[in-house]
């Protein structure tokens, strides 16, 4: 096969593969709207192994090389009736503090929940009640734990990422939770840079969720593994096309001289 034909064949074969990468790498907006999670990988966890306010029933994940983040989704069991709701609120109050369904974020300020968690969590003196769960990571950078706090009345989610020595590495917060009358789902993210040496060369992370006595999965780990081709894929395809174009131009020039 002639060189130019070989290069064209390779370019045609590679373009569909690499052009699919941006589709894979997009799609999650942290806004408390969960429709963009419909097509993401997921794991169902059995219902009933914790009280509904702590019972994990579904987790999802999405590594986004373009953004440099791994996005996460966690859903707990729905409240079944008013009695359960009252019992759950009592447990939350006993464990974490005030559960205020009438919380007014305009009165407290946008950062009030974040400051409450950031400043008071380690002192076990938080002002409000939260659904608290943990995501434990094991990767090439060692052990990490994301501690996630969801305050339903304000829809605020706070994420604190700790290292193996219980040192705070990173934190973030936003309105990433369900509407307070539903209060089942949250979404959040962790930068890949805290879990992997290089996102371009690919990474593998093992993880599991903990919420009270509930573990998801019940045993073993969820493994997020991705081999990123960005940005090398684009460079490779463009290089092939450039070489092909240069070859045709040289060939055309040679033919013109022969004529």
Lowest mean per-residue pLDDT among 24-33, 101-110, 114-123: 101-110
Banded model confidence at residue 144, pLDDT cuts 50, 70, 90 = very high
| pTM: predicted TM-score of the whole model, two decimal places | 0.72
Element at 205 (helix H, strand E): strand 203-211
Query: Residue 18: helix, strand or coil by DSSP?
Result: helix
- With CA atoms as reference, report the closest residue to 153 among 92, 105, 115: 105
Banded model confidence at residue 84, pLDDT cuts 50, 70, 90 = low
Query: Residue 130: helix, strand or coil by DSSP?
Result: coil
- With CA atoms as reference, report the closest residue to 167 among 143, 202, 198, 193: 143
Average pLDDT in the chain: 78
Banded model confidence at residue 111, pLDDT cuts 50, 70, 90 = confident
pLDDT for the residue 22:
34
Listed ranges 23-32, 41-50, 123-132; the one with the highest mean pLDDT: 41-50
pLDDT for the residue 107:
57
Radius of gyration of the chain (CA): 24
Banded model confidence at residue 230, pLDDT cuts 50, 70, 90 = very low
What are the contacts of 216-221 at 24+ separation with CB within 8 A? 216/43, 216/45, 216/56, 216/59, 217/43, 217/45, 218/45, 218/46, 218/49, 221/138
Residue 257 has pLDDT above 90, yes or no: no
Listed ranges 98-102, 177-181, 232-236; the one with the highest mean pLDDT: 177-181
């Amino acid at each position: 096969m002639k060189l130019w034909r070989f290069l064209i064949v390779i370019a045609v074969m590679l373009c569909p593969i690499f052009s699919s990468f941006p589709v894979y790498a997009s799609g999650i907006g942290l806004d408390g709207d969960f429709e963009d999670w419909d097509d993401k990988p997921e794991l169902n966890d059995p219902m009933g192994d914790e009280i509904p306010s702590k019972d994990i029933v579904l987790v999802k994940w999405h590594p986004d090389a373009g953004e440099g983040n791994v996005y996460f989704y966690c859903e707990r069991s729905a409240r079944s009736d008013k009695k359960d709701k009252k019992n759950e609120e009592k447990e939350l109050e006993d464990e974490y503090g005030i559960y205020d369904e009438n919380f007014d974020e305009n009165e407290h300020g946008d950062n009030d929940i974040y400051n409450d968690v950031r400043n008071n969590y380690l002192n076990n003196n938080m002002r409000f009640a939260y659904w608290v769960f943990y995501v434990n990571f094991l990767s090439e950078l060692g052990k990490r734990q994301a501690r996630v706090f969801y305050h339903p009345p304000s829809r605020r989610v706070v994420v604190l990422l700790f290292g193996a020595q219980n040192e705070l590495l990173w934190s973030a917060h936003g309105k990433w939770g369900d509407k307070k009358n539903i209060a089942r789902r949250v979404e959040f993210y962790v930068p890949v840079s805290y879990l992997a040496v290089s996102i371009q060369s690919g990474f593998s992370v093992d993880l599991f969720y903990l919420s009270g006595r509930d573990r998801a999965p019940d045993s073993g780990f969820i493994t997020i593994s991705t081999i990123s081709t960005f940005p090398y894929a684009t460079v490779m395809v463009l290089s092939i096309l450039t070489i092909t174009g240069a070859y045709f131009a040289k060939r055309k020039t040679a033919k013109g001289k022969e004529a």
